[in-house]
Chain A
Amino acid sequence: MTDGESAVSTSGDAVDPIPDLRQRSFFQRWWEGFSIIFASKTAMVGLFLVLFWIFVAIFAPFLTPYTPLEQDWKSPNIGPSAEHPLGTDELGRDLWSRLIYGARVVLVVLPISEDLWIPGGTAIWGVIVALVVGTALGLISGYYGGWIDEITMRLLDAMMAVPIILLYLIIMAALGASAINVVIAMTIVGTPGIARLVRSLTLDIRTREYIRAAETRGENPWHIMFIEILPNARGPIIVDAMLRVGYAIFAMGTLGFLGLGIPPPSPDWGSMVAKGREFILAGSPWAALWPSVAIATLVVGLNLLADGLREESMRYQ
């Protein structure tokens, strides 16, 4: 433990003297890590965009008088007005309400079935599950090396050789359209990249003295992998995960656009764009415009946040 934490301090915040670390609580340390965001303007802009979408997603029911499914067959495809700030879609549903409820599915809730949902958005869960699987595979490969490494990495390389969008299409066409299947598809597609990253970090870290020390102490390999190596690799993994949430949102949009994402009438951004697209040339661009803007701002926000974090954390290295 001792060696691990000192390593964190050198990579994270070199200014602090090492002894101080021990007296501070977990939250204090977490906050210190987090506060580097404030040092970067890029990260702040990103954070603002992301927090905006998280806020509207969480408080969606209080931000609109409509439900995302309520149809008004007398007023389809109208532009922004006092009643409907962003206009309505082809079935007369309020676009603002669909947009913010759509943000919920991305960031805040994962609909398992019609009536059951769990917290954590579809994109978030997709990244978390991929992260867990990819990290485990990467640690095992990197730490053990040898034929385990060869087999795992060649299999993952084979998966990476398949174009991502094709892999998504194959998986979704095989499994059928649902939020859970989107998570499964993201996991399968995201795992190889994460595993490669974690493996390369592991290869580096396992040569350090504190790993040798732990081995000499006789710690079992799992302890070394998850307690000694993983926490020291977290910086790049977090930045990578941040970017991956962005990719995941893109992937959700693409799948929805191709009719393979979360089935209608769920306010899925990708399928909103796909449906609205039919009306662009007919003179009602709103239904396609807003969800495109939403996807763009959220993904740009996440990328800025990740970039800012990386810049700041690299500064003292």
Chain B
Amino acid sequence: MKGSKDIHPRIVELFDQLQDGRLSRREFIRYAALLGLSAAAASQMIGLPWPKSLSAADIRRGGVIRVATSVQKVTHPAQFSWVEPTNILRQVAEYLTYTDKNNITHPYLLENWKASDDLKTWILNLRKGIKFNNGDEFTADDVFFTIKQWLNKDVGSSILGMMGAYLDPNGIEKSDAHQITLHLKKPEIAVPEHLFHYPAMILNHRTFEGDFIKAPHGTGPYTLDVYKESERAVLKRRSDYWQKGADGKPLPYMDGMEFFDMGDEMSPRIAALRAGEIDMIDLATTGGTAAFQALKDYRGVQVKPIGTAQARVMRMRVDLKPWDDNRVRMALKLCQHREKILGLAYFGQGLLAHDFHVAPVHPEYCDKQIPEYNPQKAKQLLKEAGYPNGLRVNLALGSEWTDVVRYGEILKQDAAPAGFNVVLKTMPTSQYWEKWTEVDLGVTPWTHRPLGTMVLNLAYVNDADGNPVAWNETNWADPEFSRLLNEANGTLDVDERRKIFCQLEQIQWERGSIGIAWWQNNWQIVTRRVQDSQPHPTGYMLFNQTWLSEG
């Protein structure tokens, strides 16, 4: 292994750690994949059999899957701000990488990637022989064009907020027809994960003019036939897709996919699924508790759970009274009866959390004991902070997130013995999003991200000028925390990273600005006839291998 020039030197170190037992197999595959080794090769290195696809005889070709979702107005894929339209269009256009359900990122439209030792130069080697559905060949020009679009301020993509911090438009270099080199301003390990961010679809540079629906030319397994906002979208199978199925013929197995906009209400979708009129409900942003409750024991329906780093974050603005006093923040955190909250607000479908924004599904997670519900100590802390007679606080909640409202109601009840009078301020969810960074106390939903560093960099640091970054909704920044996080951003050794994360988690628990009582499960809900569909923590529909059985 050590002689191989194509393998990143860190992989050798990782392999040594694996053999010493300091790294689990899953972590090894994850980190080796991060550094450009394919997951299959990494599996071979550790002698783990790569999960084999089903034999061709079992798989039935044909059929059309019907999905209930919301068919939203879309134009420029880089501007996507909801997952649902990407679940339709990701079957048409594709990404350079893909992060699987275990949070391992693999090359996809890339053959592989190579990172320099200092993690500042990333070479992306593109897969050859891939064609867009209009016949154009997929080359470095397309990738060059697409990344330029992401970093273009006029496009206004959310990727700019992520990649803009370490990559300038002039840092993209087209090294040859199938190679792109990224020259970063600072070390970054999450480049492959960012390439799978949902707006990061690769566009055809010859035909794309700002509206994907007008020129739906992607490399994906389906072509776009109909896209009618608020009505439906119809996709048809293409015959020359680059991936082959188990039977040696090109994927996909299904003849097409149909997406129906069934409005915002969950009950008609549940009824339609029960009646077999649709095969799947897209739960990417709607939240699946209602569907889970109604369908978990229903015959003919498969409910597949998956653990995520998705959370309802009780966030306290540290620049506003009374939350500028850490004792008050700690007091409210101690008022969370976590077991009860998980049981009632989310029906026990998840894991207990510990008021830091790193989840057990993250590879660098450092295990900590879950804090007890302790109103006596909370009362004591409030007294020390100068509120011996208790404290009245307003908690802002989006009323359409029913689990958030339940969380608020439980907190109100359980914080009362400590002296908190929590007044619940419910408002329509759209109204909450208008002021989510402004309210002093509120509950904000945060979505799943595959790496532990990603959210911490988004929400708990200051920018170069010392101002809170755009999504730092609590205005909390801690010099020690920022220093350690920077260190973690450039540390590949999982043991070392975890050591840093143990400290990061401890700091965020001791003096941080948030309470997180539980990590949510997500579900994929499909009928029995849908085969080989995997749930994904972010609700992405990765359906290339999916097929439909009879009936």
* Interface membership of chain A positions 241-280, coded 1 if the CB is closer than 8 angstroms to chain B and 0 otherwise: 0000000000000000001100111000000000101111
Q: A91-B344, A278-B293 are in contact. Are A176 and B427 (CB under 8 A)?
A: yes
Contact of A71 with B427 in the complex, beta carbons under 8 Å: no
Tell yes or no: A76 within 8 A of B by CB: yes
Contact of A91 with B425 in the complex, beta carbons under 8 Å: no
Contact of B340 with A264 in the complex, beta carbons under 8 Å: no
A73 to B406, CA, bound (A): 12
Contact of B293 with A265 in the complex, beta carbons under 8 Å: no
Contact of A281 with B410 in the complex, beta carbons under 8 Å: no
Q: A71-B413, A73-B344, A281-B294 are in contact. Are A263 and B424 (CB under 8 A)?
A: yes
Least CB distance from A134 to B in Å reads 29
Say which one of B397-405, B497-505, B512-520 lies at the interface with A. Answer: B397-405
| Majority secondary structure of chain B interface residues (helix, strand, loop or mixed) | helix
Question: How many residue pairs bridge A and B at CB < 8 Å?
Answer: 67
CB neighbours of B426 from chain A (8 A):
177, 259, 263-264
Q: A71-B410, A90-B344, A114-B421 are in contact. Are A281 and B427 (CB under 8 A)?
A: no
CB neighbours of A259 from chain B (8 A):
399-400, 426-428
Contact of A177 with B289 in the complex, beta carbons under 8 Å: no
Tell yes or no: B81 within 8 A of A by CB: no
Tell yes or no: A161 within 8 A of B by CB: no
Partner of B406, one of A69, A91, A280: A91
Tell yes or no: A282 within 8 A of B by CB: yes
* Interface membership of chain A positions 68-85, coded 1 if the CB is closer than 8 angstroms to chain B and 0 otherwise: 010101001000000000
Most A Cβ at <10 Å: residue of B271, B289, B399: B399
Within A56-100, the residues touching B (CB, 8 Å) are: 69, 71, 73, 76, 90-92
Contact of B402 with A278 in the complex, beta carbons under 8 Å: yes
| Majority secondary structure of chain A interface residues (helix, strand, loop or mixed) | loop
Within B258-309, the residues touching A (CB, 8 Å) are: 267, 270-271, 289-290, 293-294
CB neighbours of B148 from chain A (8 A):
none
Partner of A73, one of B340, B399, B408, B425: B340
Within B379-419, the residues touching A (CB, 8 Å) are: 392, 399-400, 402, 405-406, 408-410, 412-413
Least CB distance from A267 to B in Å reads 11
CB neighbours of B48 from chain A (8 A):
none
Contact of B413 with A90 in the complex, beta carbons under 8 Å: no
Contact of B290 with A278 in the complex, beta carbons under 8 Å: yes
Sort chain B's interface into a size bin. Answer: 20 to 34
A275 to B431, CA, bound (A): 20
Tell yes or no: B423 within 8 A of A by CB: yes
Contact of B425 with A263 in the complex, beta carbons under 8 Å: yes
Partner of A281, one of B293, B337, B413, B431: B293
Within A160-174, the residues touching B (CB, 8 Å) are: 173
CB neighbours of B171 from chain A (8 A):
none
Contact of A275 with B402 in the complex, beta carbons under 8 Å: yes
Q: A90-B344, A91-B410, A265-B409 are in contact. Are A278 and B427 (CB under 8 A)?
A: no
Contact of A260 with B402 in the complex, beta carbons under 8 Å: no
Contact of B402 with A281 in the complex, beta carbons under 8 Å: no
Where the two chains meet, the residues of B that have a C-beta atom closer than 8 Å to any C-beta of A are 267, 270-271, 289-290, 293-294, 337, 340, 343-344, 392, 399-400, 402, 405-406, 408-410, 412-413, 421, 423-428, 431
Given A263-B424, A263-B425, A280-B267; 12 other pairs, CB 8 A cutoff: A73-B343, A90-B344, A91-B406, A92-B344, A114-B421, A173-B428, A173-B431, A176-B425, A177-B426, A259-B426, A264-B426, A277-B267
Could you jot down 12 A-B contacts, CB within 8 Å? A69-B413, A90-B406, A91-B344, A91-B406, A92-B344, A263-B425, A264-B408, A265-B413, A265-B424, A278-B290, A280-B267, A281-B267
